[in-house]
Each structure stands twice: as structure tokens, then as C-alpha cells.
Chain A
């Protein structure tokens, strides 16, 4: 294979080599770990801040408002200002609350979402850890956040929080199934759970195109279930502000509240990036398939070479942000569901459809009907 300037594998290896050649192994390891930790921390914080800003702008756009526009050009520094404000707020201690669990809850939600982004491939060689069970790992770790939410609601000694947390728990565990099963559908097609290999298998076409009908159904189910799993509207009855003030984080103030907020947005980012990686080809550029090549001839080849010049990281972020925009669009368009409707949707519609979908996908792979 020709040398690829967008391949980060050799870049990473050269940094690794540089450190280990010049320093004792222990210090090289420490420095390397610090570099990775700082990089991911910055990425995490910046994406979180950006998504809060994006949500406010998208919401404003949909509701025909201007949105934040005072702090910096187009208000881009609004969320930084908000972050500083929240950091400088007093942390209120609630009387009779279970203090230990109350303080533990933000740790759990942040740890769950931060550990999940460790396995996500942002580009060729741009991932912290390339597990052979990548899909499974991300699903497992990101669903640990529900423990934090339940703890937050339970320990607050507030009835609204408790109701919100219980609803959220029921909702997240229910939709967890649909998320898992729609990913199983694609794992059948890919034959591997390693995220980098899943992306590599989509070199000649994204799974949503090559996977026949089951892949499209799985994508739709994944988006619905992913939106529900991150507690976002129209599934945000865990924090239905008109009935439960703010649900499980009613009692949280200042920076603790900010962490729940950050975790919610990062969970949305994780769901969107898994959707982008598994269904939309990860960092692979959009290539026109053989069908269109026949139709357009030379032009499609030119298009295919042209899009290769866009760095994979931009492709990846573009797809992720597209899915995130879709989820924000849901939130500001659909009315909120009731809990019985929510559970009915999952257990009576999505789950049976998913079971049939898996069999259909297995049949298609068996017969070789996929493209």
C-alpha cells in the first residue's frame, strides 16, 4: 500500500520510539500516558462544550430565535463562560441526603462516558485502544452510566429525583437491548467486533448501503434506541421539566450539575460516533458505488479520488455531527412520550422487529445476498 499522509499509525509509533529511545522505560511510559490523557481530556471537554453550544444554536434555529450571540463572535464562547460560572458556584449540601452516594454519582457518569471514548477510532490509527471486542466494550461501558443516574436520584432525598431516576433506569435498561441487538445485526455482517476492522470492512461501501434492508432497519432502530438511551427528547421523561423540575439532577448544583450535563452530551456523542463507525463507514470517505459508476462514468471516478483528499478525521466528525444534528432535531420536534408509550415502543415493537431483523440478516449473510 502506498504511503498515506492521513495514516496516524506511523506517527504514533514514531512518538513512541522517540520517547523510549531517549528516556528510561518508566518515564517514557509516564510521559506517553500523560500525553494521551491530556489529549483525550481536552478532546472530551472541547467536544462537550461545543455540543452544548451547538444544541443551543440548533434549538434556537428550530424555534426561530437567535440563540447565544453575545460572548464572542456568534456566541461561540458562551459555553466557556457558562463553564466558568458553574465552576465558581457554591456546591450545596442537602440535608438528610446520602452524602457519599450523592458525591459518587457524578464520578460514575463521567467515568462511564470517558472510558467509552477510549475505544472509538477517530481515524486511521487514531484510537487509544483497539479492542477485539470494541463494539461490545463501548456498549457495556457506556451503559454503566445508568448506575450513576440511579444513585443520583436515590441519594438526593428528593421525590422528583427518585421518580426521575427510576424512570430513567427503566428506560435505559429497556433500550439497551435494542442498541445491543441492532449492533449484533451489523456484527453478523462484519464478522468481527473490532471497531477498526469494522471500519476497514466498509472500504468498498458503508454497511448501511451494503447490508441490504436489515442494515437500514438496524440503523433506524439504533438511532431511536440511542436517543432513548441518552435520555434525550422525545424520550426525556426522566427529566421532564414540566412535571419533575429536572429529574434526577434536581438537587445538583454548580459543577456537579455541569458534569451530568457534560455526560449527557458526551453520551450523545458516543452514540452518534458508534452509529457513524458501524453504519456509516467510520472515517471512510463516501465513494460512489459500481451502480453509479456505470451511470456517471468518468465523473464518479473523479469524485471518488476527490473525496479521498478530505482527511479521515473530518469525515468521521462530519458523520458524527450529522447524526448528532439528527438527534437534536428529534428533541426539538417531537413531543415527549409517556412512560407506558415508551415501554410499549421498546418491548412490543423494537424488540420483536430486532429479533426478526437479526434472523433476516443471518439469512442474507448465509445466502450471500448482501452487496
Chain B
């Protein structure tokens, strides 16, 4: 099988969810009730808007994640040839990690890793 057949898996997953949703929207009994379509917040009527500004902490961690995730992507090709390249790859990754570790230390010192 080639990687084109991933489309097959995509289609099967869509059919699985879509089929069940269509079945579920046609077959089961229905009843309408104004209370039913309210957001469920433990019985108390919902107050104010839901889509508000959010804690900046999440944003900070998202940026940190972006940096380190891109770095993980770079690590994978390095890891596959590490065995065959030997010492040169090893020295390179130490330099790479020094720069990266500096970044992590900076974030640490700036208290970016503390949840507030």
C-alpha cells in the first residue's frame, strides 16, 4: 500500500462519523423544549458572554511549544542519521542543544514556566 491510501482511511473515518450522525439525526425520537437547548452549566442560567478574552498564560505556553516542537521536528532527521554520521552529528547536536537550553533557561529565569 502506498501513502495515497491514507485517503481511504480519511474517507472511512468520515463515513463512520457521518453515517452515525445521519442515523442519529433521523431515527431517534425528538422533542423540543426551550430549556433543552440552553448551555448546561449545572442548572444555573448562563450569565454573560462565553467567548471572552482568555488567560495569557496559555498563549505563553503555546509560543514555547511552537519553539520546542519545531526543534523536535529538526531532531527526527538528525536522529535517523546519527548512527551513520558519528562524531560530527554528536558535536552538532551538542551545539544545537546548548542554544536551545539557553532559550529554556531564559524562559525559566523570566518566570515564563510558572503558571499564574
Interface residues of A (CB under 8 A from B): 33, 36-37, 40-41, 44, 87-97, 103, 106-107, 110-111, 114-115, 118, 128-131, 133, 135-136, 154, 156-160, 162, 166, 169-170, 173-174, 176-177, 180-181, 184-185, 187-189, 191-193, 245, 250-251, 254-256, 258-259, 339-340, 343-344, 347-348, 351-352, 355, 358-359, 362-363, 365-366
From DSSP, what is the main secondary structure of chain A's interface residues? helix
Q: Is the CB of B16 within 8 A of A87?
A: no
Q: Is the CB of B6 within 8 A of A129?
A: yes
B36 in the interface (beta carbon within 8 A): yes
- Taking CB atoms and an 8 Å cut-off, the chain B residues in 88-116 that contact chain A are 89-90, 93-94, 97, 100-101, 104, 108, 113-115
Select A343's contact among B20, B25, B101, B115, beta carbons within 8 Å. Answer: B115
Shortest A37–chain B CB gap in Å is 4
Select B39's contact among A107, A114, A154, A158, beta carbons within 8 Å. Answer: A158
Q: Is the CB of A173 within 8 A of B69?
A: yes
Q: Is the CB of A92 within 8 A of B37?
A: yes
Per the bound structure, the CA–CA distance linking A170 and B94 in Å amounts to: 28
Nearest B residue (CB) for A106: B17
Nearest B residue (CB) for A12: B1
Select A355's contact among B2, B16, B82, B97, beta carbons within 8 Å. Answer: B97
Chain A residue contacts of B50, Cβ below 8 A: 157-159, 162
Chain A residue contacts of B9, Cβ below 8 A: 37, 40, 114-115, 118, 128
Chain B residue contacts of A166, Cβ below 8 A: 54-55, 58
Per the bound structure, the CA–CA distance linking A210 and B39 in Å amounts to: 54
Q: Is the CB of A358 within 8 A of B75?
A: yes
Chain A residue contacts of B64, Cβ below 8 A: 347
From DSSP, what is the main secondary structure of chain B's interface residues? helix
11 interchain pairs, CB-CB under 8 A: A91-B25, A106-B21, A110-B17, A118-B9, A162-B50, A166-B55, A176-B69, A191-B84, A245-B40, A254-B28, A363-B90
Nearest A residue (CB) for B76: A136
Q: Is the CB of B30 within 8 A of A344?
A: no
Q: Is the CB of A366 within 8 A of B10?
A: no
Contact mask for chain B residues 57-85; partner A; CB cutoff 8 A; 1 contact, 0 none: 11001101100110010011001111110
Q: Is the CB of A159 within 8 A of B46?
A: yes
Chain B residue contacts of A344, Cβ below 8 A: 113-115
A37 with B8: in contact, given A180-B72, A366-B90 (CB under 8 Å)? Answer: yes
Chain A residue contacts of B21, Cβ below 8 A: 91, 103, 106, 255-256
Chain A residue contacts of B100, Cβ below 8 A: 355
B interface residues, tally (CB under 8 Å): 68
Per the bound structure, the CA–CA distance linking A44 and B46 in Å amounts to: 38
Q: Is the CB of B5 within 8 A of A129?
A: yes
Q: Is the CB of B16 within 8 A of A343?
A: no
Q: Is the CB of B79 within 8 A of A128?
A: no
Q: Is the CB of A158 within 8 A of B40?
A: yes
Q: Is the CB of B41 within 8 A of A159?
A: yes
Q: Is the CB of A41 within 8 A of B31?
A: no
- Given pairs A87-B24, A170-B58, 5 additional interface contacts (CB within 8 A): A91-B24, A95-B37, A107-B17, A170-B61, A340-B115
Per the bound structure, the CA–CA distance linking A110 and B31 in Å amounts to: 28
> Lowest 9 A-B CB distances belong to which pairs?
A340-B115, A114-B13, A187-B79, A191-B83, A180-B72, A158-B39, A95-B37, A173-B65, A111-B13
**Max chain B C-beta neighbours (<10 A), residue from A173, A180, A347:** A347
A114 with B16: in contact, given A128-B1, A184-B76, A362-B82 (CB under 8 Å)? Answer: yes
Per the bound structure, the CA–CA distance linking A298 and B3 in Å amounts to: 46
Shortest B90–chain A CB gap in Å is 5
